[in-house]
């Protein structure tokens, strides 16, 4: 079905019009940061930036994958920017946040998939902002455990990795990614003791019974936080919208997810993976949890930049 109908009223986001929004924008622009808010055309950018919240995107803004749902540019990325970790950490430290989300494009062109840069960003950010909790949203590192562990060894507070859609639609929608590999990312992080999170889209061709099965699979993987939102096609060249999902259905799926044991579920037409992430994170005593592993990584921040350059 082509996107020929008007968007329903419940999909109309408010335009940004506050001083807080402009402060966040100046911070992002002034430090040369990429954000998924801009690159993925997020409808909540006005609301989140007004709250001083932005999802920072590292490793450039060109992705090596070409998922048919995603607005992020795809192609051959430029040379790796080794000055990015300290610049990103410095910018984040000036945002005055309690919780930050960091994501990245997929960098399958890099030997470690960008894991060393990921680790440096987490460690340098924590050294500058020890009271801030850090949520990471990486790609799947092509299923290489050594590379995922480089990031996990930096001990972010939440590991977020999106499944995006039901199993049947993985190949046409996500191209290079795989259902089993994404679950491996979530399960491996869970086995290592992390709070885990994932996100899915509705309105891209899935069936009701497939949604229920996906949510059960997410529960069985021990995932703590789930986000569910409406798919919005970035252009006519992307996968078409199958249907507009009513807010009542989003509420039903939230109730179902909570009823089967998922701790937190944000579900609504405009919900995206990092939407109100600080509120979900506050459910878990992350700073207390950090004390379980903090001594073993307390000295790593000093060498983070050097590690990134190796």
Name the token pair of 306: 């050097």
Which pTM does this prediction carry?
0.85
Q: How many other CB atoms sit within 10 Å of the CB of residue 35?
A: 22
What 3-state DSSP class applies to 143? helix
- In the chain, which residue ranges form alpha helices assigned H by DSSP? 19-30, 36-39, 45-50, 84-93, 115-128, 145-152, 170-174, 179-191, 208-220, 247-259, 277-281, 286-290, 294-297, 304-309
Which has the closest alpha carbon to 181: 196, 162, 199?
A: 162
Characterize the bridge pairing of strands 55-58 and 34-35.
antiparallel
Which has the closest alpha carbon to 84: 70, 105, 67?
A: 105
Positive or negative torsion for Cα 199, 96, 158, 153: positive
d(CA 272, CA 288): 27
pLDDT value for 184: 98
d(CA 177, CA 207): 20
310 residues of the chain, pLDDT tens digit each = 444 457 888 777 665 555 665 666 666 666 555 554 444 445 555 555 555 556 788 998 889 998 888 877 888 888 788 889 998 998 888 877 788 999 999 999 999 999 999 999 999 999 999 999 999 999 999 999 999 999 999 999 999 999 999 999 999 999 889 999 999 999 999 999 999 999 999 999 999 999 999 999 999 999 999 999 999 888 888 999 999 999 999 999 999 999 999 999 999 999 988 888 888 888 999 988 888 876 555 445 445 444 444 4
**Each residue's pLDDT tens digit, 28-68:** 666 555 554 444 445 555 555 555 556 788 998 889 998 88
Residues 300, 124: contact at Cβ < 8 Å? no
Domains of the chain: 29-309 (3.20.20.70)
d(CA 34, CA 45): 13
Residue with tokens 């622009």: 29
């Amino acid at each position: 079905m082509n996107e020929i109908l008007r968007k329903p009223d419940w999909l109309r986001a408010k335009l940004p019009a506050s001083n807080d929004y402009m402060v966040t924008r100046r911070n992002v622009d002034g430090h040369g940061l990429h954000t998924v808010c801009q690159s993925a055309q997020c409808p909540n950018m006005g609301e989140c930036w007004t709250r001083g919240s932005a999802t920072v995107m590292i490793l450039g803004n060109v992705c090596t994958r070409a998922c048919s749902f995603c607005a992020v540019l795809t192609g051959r990325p430029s040379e790796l920017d080794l000055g990015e970790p300290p610049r990103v950490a410095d910018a984040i430290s000036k945002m005055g946040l309690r919780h930050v989300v960091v994501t990245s494009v997929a960098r399958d062109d890099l030997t470690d998939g960008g894991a060393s840069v990921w680790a440096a960003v987490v460690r340098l950010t924590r050294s500058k902002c020890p009271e801030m909790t850090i949520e990471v949203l990486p790609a799947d590192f092509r299923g290489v455990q050594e590379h995922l562990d480089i990031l996990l060894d930096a001990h972010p507070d939440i590991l977020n990795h999106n499944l995006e859609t039901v199993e049947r639609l993985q190949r046409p929608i996500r191209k290079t990614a795989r259902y089993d590999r994404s679950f491996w990312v979530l399960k491996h992080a869970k086995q290592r003791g992390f709070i885990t999170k994932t996100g899915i889209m509705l309105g891209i061709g899935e069936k009701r019974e497939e949604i229920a099965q996906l949510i059960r699979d997410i529960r069985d993987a021990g995932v703590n936080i789930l986000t569910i939102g409406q798919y919005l096609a970035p252009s006519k060249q992307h996968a078409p919208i199958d249907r507009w999902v009513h807010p009542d259905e989003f509420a039903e799926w939230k109730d179902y997810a909570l009823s089967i044991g998922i701790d937190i579920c944000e579900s609504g037409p405009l919900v995206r993976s990092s939407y109100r992430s600080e509120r979900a994170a506050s459910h878990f005593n992350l700073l207390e949890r950090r004390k379980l592993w903090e001594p073993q990584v307390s000295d790593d921040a000093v060498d983070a930049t050097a590690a990134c350059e190796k």
